[in-house]
């Protein structure tokens, strides 16, 4: 920034000099014309002009009808949050010679700790009106934790807003302002969207109100790690801080999504934008308006990706689907007969290509729905009828009390390079596991290469349940060498399949 100011001043001076020179040159030219007034003049140059209107050579989309008709229904949202900050305490003890020196720069604290201070943080976002009586939809993170929310319309009228409901899992919020006869936006069907379709975003990036940007659909049903229940719309529509909560229009002028987040390394737009589908949004909004608790579908499985080595180990034709790593006891999946090692390839007659697609499919299923789940069980295709239930409020595993150590069977599996012991009742209760062996030592070998570490629990080997060290030794002895073998292990309260390749006997 320090170099911009001199350069701009230099440009201004050049403009002034150029203007003066042009004025002087014009005066000299006028004097010359006056001196040669009696000289013969050259014939005038004839320039042909065509005043008839011409059509554009290339047809591009014109977004002005959408903005003219539905732009007034897009609002700006300002929220204020009170944040408590703790002032840094004096790092030196009172008897230190540096204590008084440092004390001059700090506010006085009590017992060596800094006092609390309250700081108001203001943030800007966007939203859109869905009903003439003042219901407004926005992204949940725009107003989450806010003490005061103000909605400003395009006519500059500002209204205090009341938060009707907010879902963290769906990052959706519903606001209400006290107004009537407001302009509204029509809602589309996000399930009908196709990759390549034109899109239009309206919002307030960096506080620049009523900004319009355009792009196309880049991908549909895009999963993101921190929002497993949202099948995002990915686009290349430029979105920046302040666009959050604003509408994403299709070419019919219908809202098909809420602009929610971007993928960036710099804090600004880098070509990857993600929006929440309007079908997902309105399911939550309707529950807000009806004052109902939001429920999520629950299958009761932990799943992971099917990598090419894992597909080979499971004897699958291609690496697709969601590999079931564990099944919760008594869950809908357990009651339907789904087991660890099964690969879910369809859900409710929709294909499941990767693990990220399954959670939003299940989460958006209404509890009480009978869903057909297509699986591959040891390579054979099966269909399970699963009665989807509501996601339990407390998903944490049971916490057991400490018990005296129980005697455990210990064994060595030389072909894997590990020492294992049988489960104790304490481990079974704490981790809610009912079979497997605990890895107590790892040396160089097949297990170490697969990432096995002490403390892990081996539950399956080649899709066969393991109940004791002796049983694991027998299973390993019967397996071929130099071929990928699926191994189910549990670390803490999470289970995962890994691939292990055994050496020759």
Annotated catalytic residues are: 141, 171, 244
**How many Å separate Cα 107 from the centre of its chain?**
41
243 is in an annotated binding site: yes
CB–CB of 151/135 below 8 Å?
no
Distance between CA 453 and CA 450 in Å, rounded?
Answer: 9
| Residue located via tokens 């403009």 | 15
Give the Cβ contact number of residue 316 at 10 Å. Answer: 19
Tell me whether strands 273-277 and 380-387 are parallel, antiparallel or unpaired.
unpaired
Rounded-to-10 torsion of CA 468, 469, 474, 478: 110
| Residue located via tokens 């349940």 | 465
171 is in an annotated binding site: yes
Reading the block at residue 466, the tokens are 């393991």
CB–CB of 229/359 below 8 Å?
yes
Distance between CA 209 and CA 205 in Å, rounded?
Answer: 7
Distance between CA 123 and CA 485 in Å, rounded?
Answer: 53
Reading the block at residue 299, the tokens are 């299958």
Reading the block at residue 281, the tokens are 């949004």
287 is in an annotated binding site: no
Tell me whether strands 350-351 and 370-377 are parallel, antiparallel or unpaired.
unpaired
Distance between CA 326 and CA 483 in Å, rounded?
Answer: 24
Residues forming the annotated binding site for substrate?
A: 141, 171, 242-244
Residue list for the binding site: 141, 171, 242-244
């Amino acid at each position: 920034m320090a170099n911009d100011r001199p350069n701009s001043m230099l440009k201004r001076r050049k403009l002034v000099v150029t203007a003066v020179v042009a004025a002087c040159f014009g005066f000299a030219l006028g004097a010359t014309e006056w001196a040669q007034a009696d000289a013969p003049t050259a014939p005038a140059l004839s320039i042909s002009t065509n005043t008839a209107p011409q059509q554009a050579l290339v047809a591009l989309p014109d977004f002005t009808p959408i903005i003219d008709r539905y732009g007034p229904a897009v609002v700006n949202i300002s929220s204020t949050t009170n944040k408590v900050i703790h002032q840094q305490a004096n790092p030196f003890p009172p008897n230190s010679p540096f204590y008084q020196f440092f004390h001059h720069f700090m506010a006085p604290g009590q017992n060596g700790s800094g006092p609390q201070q309250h700081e108001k943080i203001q943030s800007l976002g966007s939203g859109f009106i869905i009903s003439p009586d003042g219901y407004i939809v926005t992204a949940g993170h725009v107003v989450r934790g806010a003490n005061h929310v103000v909605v400003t319309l395009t006519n500059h009228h500002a209204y205090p807003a009341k938060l009707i409901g907010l879902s963290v899992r769906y990052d959706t919020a519903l606001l209400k302002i006290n107004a009537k006869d407001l302009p509204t936006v029509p809602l589309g069907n996000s399930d009908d969207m196709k990759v390549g379709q034109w899109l239009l975003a309206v919002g307030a990036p960096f506080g620049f109100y009523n900004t319009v940007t355009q792009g196309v659909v880049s991908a549909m049903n895009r999963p993101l790690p921190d929002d497993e229940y949202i099948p995002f719309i990915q686009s290349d529509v430029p979105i920046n801080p302040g666009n959050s909560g604003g509408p994403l229009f299709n070419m019919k002028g219908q809202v098909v999504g809420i602009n929610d987040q971007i993928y960036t390394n710099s804090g600004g737009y880098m070509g990857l934008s993600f929006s929440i589908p309007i079908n997902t949004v309105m399911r939550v909004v309707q529950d807000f308006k009806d004052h109902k608790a939001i429920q999520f579908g629950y299958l009761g499985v932990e799943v992971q990706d099917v990598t090419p080595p894992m597909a080979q180990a499971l004897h699958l034709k291609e690496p697709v689907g969601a590999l079931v790593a564990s099944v919760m006891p008594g869950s809908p999946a357990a009651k339907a007969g789904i087991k660890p090692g099964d690969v879910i390839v369809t859900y409710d007659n929709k294909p499941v290509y990767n693990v990220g697609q399954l959670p939003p499919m299940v989460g958006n299923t209404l509890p009480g729905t009978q869903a057909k789940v297509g699986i591959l069980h040891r390579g054979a295709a099966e269909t399970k009828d699963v009665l989807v239930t509501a996601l339990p409020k407390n998903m944490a595993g049971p916490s057991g009390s400490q018990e005296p150590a129980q005697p455990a069977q210990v064994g060595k599996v030389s072909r894997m390079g590990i020492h294992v012991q049988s489960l104790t009742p304490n481990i079974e209760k704490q981790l809610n596991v009912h079979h497997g062996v605990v890895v107590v030592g790892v040396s160089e070998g097949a297990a170490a290469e697969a990432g096995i570490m002490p403390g892990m629990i081996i539950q399956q080997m080649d899709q066969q349940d393991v109940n004791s060290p002796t049983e694991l030794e027998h299973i390993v002895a019967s397996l071929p060498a130099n071929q990928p073998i699926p191994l189910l292990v549990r670390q803490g309260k999470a289970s995962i399949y890994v691939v292990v390749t055994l050496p020759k006997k």
